[in-house]
Amino acid sequence: MTRSQPLCPVADLPPGTTRKFVFTHEGIRREGFAANVRGHLVAYENACRHIPMPLDDDNDFFTTDGEFFICRTHGAIYEPLNGRCIHGPCGGLSLKSLRVVEVQGELWIVLPPEPEESTTPVE
């Protein structure tokens, strides 16, 4: 089943900015971030593909030139539009993306479906 949660008005996420959020998946609390990349809205789980640590120190996902995302721990560089690591210790892997949708000016995060609860037949 598809799940979603509201994040913020789209107007509150202008180009070059990011916003973090918390979500759960597979019963685990996780952090994500949404970004406006030159007018394109994207979202990813905030977990580096080298070691699953947050990319940022304080909501500072972009490189200083604003062209890429950077992991503050060991410097992995990610393409912001597709999440692919292009430099650093996780080369070739990609950030886990989350779908975003805009509904009447609000940005929503579409979360991955939860696995079906297992059912055990009663004997």
- Interface positions with ligand FES (CB under 6 A): 48, 50-51, 53, 71, 73-76, 88-89
Find the shortest distance in angstroms from Cβ 47 to ligand FES: 9
| Contact between residue 93 and residue 79 where contact means Cβ atoms under 8 Å apart | no
Adjacency order of strands within the sheet including 40-45: 3-9, 106-111, 97-103, 40-45, 28-37, 18-25
- 57: DSSP letter: S
Which CB, 75 or 113, lies closer to ligand FES? Answer: 75
Find the shortest distance in angstroms from Cβ 9 to ligand FES: 31
Which CB, 50 or 96, lies closer to ligand FES? Answer: 50
